[in-house]
Structure formats: C-alpha cells, structure tokens
Amino acid sequence: MSETLENLLQETRQFPPPDALAANANVTAAAYDEAAADRLAFWAEQAGRLSWATPWETVLDWSNPPFAKWFVGGRLNVAYNCLDRHVEAGRGDKVAIHWEGEPGDTRTITYADLHRATCQAANALTDLGVTAGDRVAIYMPMIPEAAVAMLACARIGATHSVVFGGFSADALSGRIQDASAKVVITADGGYRRGKPSGLKAIVDEAVAQCPTIEHVLVVRRTGQDVAWSEKDLWWHDTVEQASAEHTAEAFDAEHPLFILYTSGTTAKPKGILHTTGGYLTQVSYTHNAVFDLKPDTDVYWCTADIGWVTGHSYIVYGPLSNGATQIMYEGTPDTPHKGRLWEIVEKYQATTVYTAPTLIRTMMKWGDDIPAKFDLSSLRLLGSVGEPINPEAWMWYREHIGRNNCPIVDTWWQTETGGIMISPLPGVTHTKPGSAMTALPGISADVVDDQGKSVPNGGGGYLVLREPWPSMLRTIWGDDQRFIDTYWSRFENMYFAGDGAKRDADGHVWLLGRVDDVMLVSGHNISTTEVESALVSHPSVAEAAVVGATDPTTGQAIVAFTIPRGNVDTEGEAGEALIAELRNHVAKTLGPIAKPRQIMLVPELPKTRSGKIMRRLLRDVAENRSLGDVTTLQDSAVMDLISSGLKTGK
Ligand code: WT7
C-alpha cells in the first residue's frame, strides 16, 4: 500500500491495561507462548473447558485441505454445555438473561428457566418430526425465544439457519430454499422504533415459495393480527405445553450446528456452515479470554442482533457456554430516547459492552451530553466489532463511555471465522486506537503481498490465515467448489479473508477494509478506511464514507460523503468553507495524494442492515449512474435524501 499514507500508522497513543484488570485477568501473556510452542495442544486444552460425552482421538485432521476436521471422534451436545452443566453444578438460579423489551417490558431468565424452555422446545420440535440433520429456519425479533429456538435445534442436532428479522420475504425464501428447511420458527412481530413491526406476514409470503416447509411455529410477542394456515402452530400451544424432560444426545464434533448466510453485496448469499466441537471450543475460549469474563460478577452485553454471527457466537454460544449473565435488548438505540443504551447499562450495572463502530459514531453524532446523563461507572471493558474503528471513534468510546478506565478490545473476525481471531487481550495488550493489534493465541494471521509473501513491519497487503482454526467455516452449504474458489484459491495454502491490512513498526495489525474498497489514485493504493478516519478526526465530522470514482486524469479520484456533527453550521458559505477545510485537513493528515477531489455533506449514509456502509451505491452517485440493487439497504429513503441534498449543493 502507499508510502504516502503512513500517517495513521504514526498513531502514538497507546494505553496499557488498568492495573487491577491486568492483575486479575483470565488470560495472561503466557498464553501466546504456550500456543506458539504447540498450537494443537493449546486448542486441545481449550476444548477441555467443555464437557464431552466422548473424548476426541485427534485434535485436527487436515489431511484433505481446505476441509478441516477438529476433535475427530469426540462427541458432545452444545445445549448441554450451554445449559445443563450449569444447572447440574448448582447454578440454575443464576440469571442468564436480563431481557429488556423495547416498550419497557422486562423478563429475568435464569439458567434453569432457559434449560426448561429449551427442553420443551426440543420436545416440541421432535413431535413435529424434526430430527438430527434437518434444517430449521429461525426468523425472530430479539426475544429470549430466539435463543431458545437456536439451543433447541442444537439440542436435537437440527441445523439452524437464522435469518435476520429485517430481511425481506425474498431474502428469507431464498435462504429457506437453499437449505431446504423443514420448519420456520418466527413471531407475530417485534417492537422496533416504537411500534410493532410484522414478521409473520413476511414468513407467510416467503413460505408460499418454499414447498419444503412443513410447519411454522409462531411466538406471540406483539399480539397483532396474523393470518393463519394449517401449517401454523402457536409456540404457547405447543412448546409451552411440552414436557420439560429431555435428555440431550451427544453429536459428533463435526455435526453441522448452523448455517448462516453472509450478506453478500451482489452475488448469491453464501451459506456459511459451522459445526459443533471446534466452533464451541473457540467461541467459548475467546469469549472468556477477550472479554475477561468473570461469570459471578460481570453483566455482559453484546448489542448485536441474533441474526448476525456476532449474536450467534457472543450472545448465544460463547456467553452461555461460560455461564455468563447478560443483557438482551429487543429494540433500537434511540427508542424512546437517544440515551436508551446507557440507561440500560445503568439499570443493570453492565460491566461489559460489545458493539459496532457504526453505533459508536452515531452516538458521537448525537452528542457527548447523552451518555453523560447516565451512571456508566459499572463498565470495566468495551468491545468493538464489524468494521475498522476510526481512531477518533475509539477515543470517544474510551472517554465518553469508558471514562478512560476500560480497555477497548477491537475484535477482527468474520461470519466465516466463527469466532474472534485478532484482538487485544484486555489484561495484556497495550492498545492503540484503531488497531486490532495481534492474532489471539492459537491463531496464525499474517499480512502478505500480491505474491503471498509476508510483508515486513511497516508494510501493507492482504490479511490471510495460515493455519486452520477450530471455529473455521467447514464449507459453503451445498457448494464445496465455491468454498475453495472464494477463500483458498487466491494464495496457496492460506485462507484469504478479503480484507486489506497493514502491519505497523511494532508488528501490530491495522485493518483497512475490504480489498474491493481500496482506491487506486495516480498509481497509489489508498484505503477508504484511512481517508475516512482522517475525516472523522476533524471536530466537525461525525461520520464519513469514501469511494473511488473513475477519473480521466488520476484513474480513480477520492469522493467523500460526510455527515457533519449535530451542532455544525453547513448552510451556504459555511458549508463551502467547511468542505474546503476538510479537503485541506485530509491533505495535511495523510498527504496531498489523499486529498478528496470532492466532498459532499450529507445527512445520512447508506448502510446494510448490519451497519456496513454500501460504498457500491455511493460509487453510483459519485459516477452519476443510476443506482444498483438497493434491496439490502437498511433504510431505502437514505439514497433519496443523499441525492436531493446533492441537488441543493449540500
Ligand atoms: C468483515 C466480516 C465479525 C462479526 C461481524 C461482521 C469487517 C469485522 C472488524 C474489525 C476491521 C472488521 C471485515 C471482515 N470487520 N470486524 N474489528 N476491524 N474490520 O461479520 O458480516 O461476516 O463481516 O467485517 O471487513 O472481513 P461479517
């Protein structure tokens, strides 16, 4: 990558772990040495944190790459590990989930409660003819039954495919068809932005296209009217009437646990397949290590939706396998007011928050005064996931949410990796704002050049994984060839993650976004992430998205879409002056080559439902094209807002 863009790497701020946390940390620096000495022994030790019905014979079978088998011959039940063993150990009365509905209704669910509900759901699914190996689609709001549905599938060996509740009927039916699911579990609706939104009607539309679906199991959440057909069954008439006695059967370590479709911007979504033993080993270990989980005192909160991998690994399987107490919230962060998340932190005395940069930047935009109204002193650790976190957003998170007293773990991973791969260890790492720092113990990440050669410190290139890891995807459902082509063909014997990365002078890793998002300006590689971070480092900017637009002289030219902070005047000349100032600010921060050709001040940015900026659409705007497919946009009105703002010069 370009030598002109080294400035961000000269980030000199570095923060050691708080002394008390370091002194008492679950994982110390010794873990790196231990894993480096014998990676497979290290993972075997972590697998030993789980309860196995039959021990494994071989830690890893890599005789047929890239098809890995971990913990060969071992057998275990995931739901048993997440529920029964805690109840059997006398921890049944411990709170598993403090659930907060958007309208303010709450439920407190203990491990015994969750165990009982899961056994009932397992019995009900069995009565419906679901057996091990069948696929079950789950299309739910953020209510405890969503976790119960997943755990019940795991308990009986059915493979779940959770589809995010914001997706359309087409998206849902495509995923149901790809996996030939037999049952859909859903709800009448859920609460979002202050009103009930419907789910069942969307399921009805999808199921009309899905002959494999035999039953639709419906939780009553909102009480809204729903159409009813002979396939439909109420959860309260079936699950809640079923026996709470259920003995969990152990399944092979490589038994398929779930399929999760990656968002995919243009191509057909990929059904990422995860299996049982290796997946649970890594999510359980990383949840304990990266969040320094103290199950007796922590109140952990991951704000993701269960429809994303973050919800699978760090709401359901990681935290529950570790016996954590956690918060689960149904709604949006600004309902009924913009302080809702911090109000919840205060109410439940949360110790740990794990959220996404997009949300942190939104909070910055809303203003410092909002979190300041709440008592956040219970927090001791903060996490970030989903995209690169700009240094300024990192600093804001540290100061305004963490009171300069909480380590921030910036965790890099993917749906495909199943669990966290690159992250600080909170009791060990001296963190740098904007860097995910180093691969976790037992993970061999590297940054390589075009030829697949490791780059030296100070160099940039592509992020790869050199060795298989326990929670790696096993294939793309029904398409082994696409699995090979997508991840294992760019470089020999390495997993290609599709992200650009740099290694700084100390060897720490900085993620630069998807490689498709690197711009080529006058022969220089410039990452969109770096220009965005430079813009966000200006006090008037809340959020920025940068794209490369075709340019007759420079090949590509940098075009930036920028959301000003709430209090900034952008009318008329003030707006013009701000644009000029921002262009100069980027040139000063990163070098003249990175000066945007054009900066547009916009009220919103187009994002996918998981919060990733859809640069493809912005490129369409920057190149004056009509817009491509907007169906995965979170809010389709955003593009109208941007286009109309552009016409008035704003
Ligand atoms: C892509 C994976 C991992 C769960 C949520 C997203 C980006 C993720 C980071 C991070 C920089 C990050 C990468 C990755 N990403 N975490 N900490 N720093 N980039 O899962 O939807 O499968 O997306 O998200 O580009 O490849 P996903």
What ipTM was predicted for this assembly? Answer: 0.99
Q: What is the pLDDT of residues 86-127, one digit of tens each?
A: 999 999 999 999 999 999 999 999 999 999 999 999 999 999
Q: How far is CA 388 from the centre of its chain?
A: 12
* Site to substitute for ligand 1 among 270, 414, 533, 634, most atoms within 8 A of C-beta: 414
Least confident of 104-108, 149-153, 627-631: 627-631
Say whether pLDDT at 3 is over 50. no
Q: Which of 550, 289, 587, 298 is nearest to 420 (CA)?
A: 289
DSSP letter assigned to residue 650: -
Q: Based on the number of CB atoms within 10 Å of its own CB, is 17 exposed (0-12), middle (13-18) or buried (19 or more)?
A: buried
Whether ligand 1 lies within 6 angstroms of the CB of 387 is answered as yes
Of 422, 409, 606, 431, nearest in space to 497 by CA: 422
Rounded to the nearest integer, the mean pLDDT of the chain is 93
pLDDT at position 632 is: 66
Q: In the prediction, which pLDDT does 10 show? A: 65
Q: What is the pLDDT of residue 644?
A: 65
Quick one: which of 243, 242, 308, 259 has its CA closest to 133? Answer: 259
Nearest residue to 618 via CA among 536, 551, 547, 516 = 547
**Best residue among 316, 511, 517, 615 to mutate for probing ligand 1, ranked by most atoms within 8 Å of CB:** 511
In terms of C-beta density within 10 A (0-12 exposed, 13-18 middle, 19 or more buried), how is residue 482 classed? Answer: middle
Closest CA to 353 of 302, 409, 418, 404: 302
Cα torsion 485, 487, 491, 494: sign: negative
Cα distance between residue 387 and residue 214, in whole Å: 38
Answer yes or no: are the C-beta atoms of 520 and 548 closer than 8 Å: yes
pLDDT band at 451 (very low <50, low <70, confident <90, very high): very high
Segment 29-37 shows an average pLDDT of 98
pLDDT at res. 554: 82
Is the bond into 336 cis (omega within 30 degrees of 0)? yes
For the ranges 4-8, 225-229, 377-381, 424-428, which has the lowest average pLDDT?
Answer: 4-8
Give the sign of the dihedral formed by CA 461, CA 463, CA 464, CA 465: positive
Tens of pLDDT, residue by residue over 309-349, are 999 999 999 999 999 999 999 999 999 999 999 999 999 99
**189, 331 Cβ separation under 8 angstroms:** no
Give the pairing type, strands 598-601 and 555-564.
Answer: parallel
Q: Among 115-119, 179-183, 449-453, which is the least confidently predicted range? A: 449-453
Which atom belonging to ligand 1 lies closest to the Cα atom of 423?
Answer: 17
- The length of the chain in residues reads 650
* Listed range (25-34, 354-363, 366-375, 514-523) with the worst mean pLDDT: 514-523
Do β-strands 495-503 and 460-465 pair in parallel, antiparallel, or remain unpaired?
antiparallel
Structural domains in the chain, sorted by start: 113-249 (3.40.50.980), 522-647 (3.30.300.30)
**CA–centroid distance, residue 196 to ligand 1 (Å):** 30
C-alpha 431/C-alpha 395 separation (Å) is 11
pLDDT at 630: 67
Does 158 have pLDDT greater than 60?
yes
pLDDT-derived band of residue 540, with 50, 70 and 90 as boundaries? very high
The pLDDT assigned to 629 comes to 65
List the residue whose alpha carbon is closest to atom 2 of ligand 1: 414
Instruction: Write the CA distances from 648 to 167, 429, 546, integer angstroms.
Output: 33, 48, 21
Separation of alpha carbons 302 and 142, rounded Å: 12
In 3D space, the residue among 596, 480, 624, 484 whose CA is nearest the CA of residue 531 turns out to be 596
Residue 613 contacts residue 545 (beta carbons within 8 Å): yes
Reading the block at residue 410, the tokens are 């910036």
Q: Which carries the bigger pLDDT value, residue 508 or residue 642? A: 508
Q: What pLDDT was estimated at residue 230?
A: 96
Percent of the chain with pLDDT strictly greater than 90: 82
Residue with tokens 């890594």: 282
52-66, 252-266, 472-486: the lowest-pLDDT one? 252-266
Protein residue with least CA distance to atom 12, ligand 1: 387
pLDDT for position 650: 37
Question: Region 583-612: what's the mean pLDDT?
Answer: 89
CA distance 362 to 166: 20
Strand, coil or helix: what is 323? Answer: coil
Q: What separation in Å is there between the alpha carbon of 259 and the centre of ligand 1?
A: 18
DSSP-based three-state secondary structure for 58: strand
Pairing of strands 67-72, 58-64: antiparallel
pLDDT of 647 > 50? The answer is: no
Site to probe by mutation for ligand 1, drawn from 262, 410, 412, 443 as the one with most ligand atoms within 8 Å of Cβ, is 412
Ligand 1 center–CA 498 separation, angstroms: 10
pLDDT at 628: 67
Task: Look up the pTM and report it.
Answer: 0.89
Average pLDDT rounded to a whole number, residues 556-576? 91
Closest CA to 438 of 22, 13, 29, 20: 29
Q: Which alpha helices (H) appear in 54-162, and where do they start and end?
A: 78-79, 85-86, 111-127, 144-156
| Index of the ligand 1 atom closest to the CA of residue 384 | 17
Q: Is the pLDDT of residue 453 over 60?
A: yes
* Tokens 């956690």 sit on residue: 326
pLDDT at 6 over 80: no
Half-sphere exposure of 447 (CA within 13 A, CB side): 25
Q: How many C-beta atoms surround the C-beta of residue 24 within 10 A? A: 10
Segment 477-506 shows an average pLDDT of 96
Cβ pair 53, 77 in contact under 8 A: yes
pLDDT of residue 5: 47
